[in-house]
């Protein structure tokens, strides 16, 4: 099958549903930790999943704040960034500053092809006319590979960001990737996030100071409030990592 023929919907997950015992535990902890502070949530996740816990970050302000908390409770957690090849230089600079301050060396997970190879294959930048496919190939597929063998992953989504994300829970099953998902900032609003970042001098992307509230790949991101600047001029507001495609909240 050629890349052009790939479906935009993720293939069926390895485990569409958790084992009954895990499902019951997720439900119990989702209720117990619903109003807990992020450090308590991350502390539970680290104790429960140990080396099976990982974190994906795009170095947005939420992700940087979570790394601050993680440095306190579980600094050895493996953290990775989906380096699509299209990221802002300012985004990669945050990686260096996070390492300098917290000693957390964020791994760069890259697609199987370079940008040059990918654009040659498609006759030019695919993101201009098929952005969903570009996101799938350079984000969703690499993430699926990056979490293979892990049992839980941490994300920085917040409920107020989009309708899709408002359906998330602090602890939930993610059927898209077949593992438990931890959303420690789900119930925080943007003002609370920034207040914490400023108070604790957490490194953040300098593009935020230039009107970029949400930052993705450089060709598809413009200044804007909330996620308005993502895929500017398009209805698209999600790359596919956090979109619900199955029942019971998968993909959020």
Contacts of 133 (CB under 8 A, 6+ apart): 6, 8, 126
> How many whole angstroms separate alpha carbon 174 and alpha carbon 56?
14
Residue 227 token pair: 């996620």
Residue pair 176/246 in contact by the 8 Å Cβ criterion = yes
Give the sign of the dihedral formed by CA 18, CA 21, CA 22, CA 26: positive
The strand order across the sheet containing 171-174 reads 107-109, 78-82, 53-56, 152-154, 179-182, 171-174
Q: What residues act catalytically? A: 239
How do residues 205-244 score in pLDDT, each as one tens digit?
A: 999 999 988 888 998 888 887 667 665 555 444 444 444 4
Residue 231 near residue 139, CB atoms below 8 Å: no
User: DSSP character for 28?
Assistant: H
**In the prediction, which pLDDT does 250 show?**
34
| d(C-alpha 63, C-alpha 156), whole Å | 5
pLDDT at 13: 41
3-state secondary structure of 212: strand
pLDDT at 227: 64
The per-residue pLDDT for 81 is 96
pTM comes to 0.83
Residue for token pair 């839980």: 152
| Residue 71: Cβ within 10 Å count | 16
Q: What is the largest CA-CA distance in the chain?
A: 51
**What values do phi and psi take at 224, rounded to 5?**
175, 160
172 backbone dihedrals φ, ψ, rounded to 5°: -155, 165
Q: How large is the angle between the packed helices 38-49 and 61-73, nearest 10 degrees?
A: 60
Phi, psi of 204 (to 5 degrees): -145, 165
- Where do the domains of the chain lie? 16-220
On whether the CB atoms of residues 171 and 184 are closer than 8 A, the answer is no
Averages of pLDDT over each 10 residues, the chain, 252 residues: 34 68 97 97 98 95 97 97 94 96 96 93 87 87 92 93 84 92 96 97 95 88 74 49 40 32
Q: What is the pLDDT of residue 232?
A: 58
Q: Which of 191, 201, 198, 181 is nearest to 242 (CA)?
A: 181
What's the CATH number of domain 16-220, 3.40.50.720, 2.40.50.100, 3.40.50.620, 3.40.50.11440? Answer: 3.40.50.620
* Residue 121, pLDDT score: 92
Q: What is the tens place of the pLDDT at every residue in 34-57? A: 999 999 999 999 999 999 999 999
Question: Residue 233: what pLDDT?
Answer: 56
* Burial per residue of 36-59, b for 16 or more beta-carbon CB atoms within 10 angstroms, e otherwise: bebeebbbbbbebbeeebbbbbbb
């Amino acid at each position: 099958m050629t890349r052009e023929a790939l479906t935009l919907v993720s293939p069926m997950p390895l485990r569409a549903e958790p084992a009954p015992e895990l499902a019951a535990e997720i439900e119990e902890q989702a209720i117990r930790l619903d109003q807990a502070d992020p450090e308590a949530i991350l502390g539970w996740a680290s104790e429960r999943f140990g080396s099976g816990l990982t974190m994906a970050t795009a170095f947005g302000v939420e992700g940087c704040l979570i790394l601050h908390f993680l440095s306190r409770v579980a600094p050895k957690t493996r953290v990775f960034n989906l380096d699509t090849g299209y990221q802002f230089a300012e985004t990669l600079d945050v990686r260096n500053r996070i390492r300098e301050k917290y000693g957390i060396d964020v791994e760069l997970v890259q697609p199987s092809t370079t940008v040059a190879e990918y654009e040659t294959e498609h006759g030019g930048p695919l993101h201009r006319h098929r952005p969903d496919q570009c996101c799938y190939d350079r984000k969703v597929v690499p993430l699926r590979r990056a979490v293979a063998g892990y049992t839980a992953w941490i994300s920085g989504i917040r409920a107020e960001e989009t309708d899709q994300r408002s359906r998330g829970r602090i602890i939930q099953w993610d059927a898209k990737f077949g593992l438990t998902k931890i959303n420690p900032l789900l119930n925080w609003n943007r003002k609370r996030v920034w207040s914490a970042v400023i108070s604790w001098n957490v490194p953040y992307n300098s593009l935020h100071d230039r009107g970029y509230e949400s930052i993705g790949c450089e060709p598809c991101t413009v200044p804007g409030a909330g996620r308005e600047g993502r895929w500017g001029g398009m209805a698209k507001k999600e790359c596919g990592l956090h979109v619900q495609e199955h029942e019971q909240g998968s993909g959020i």
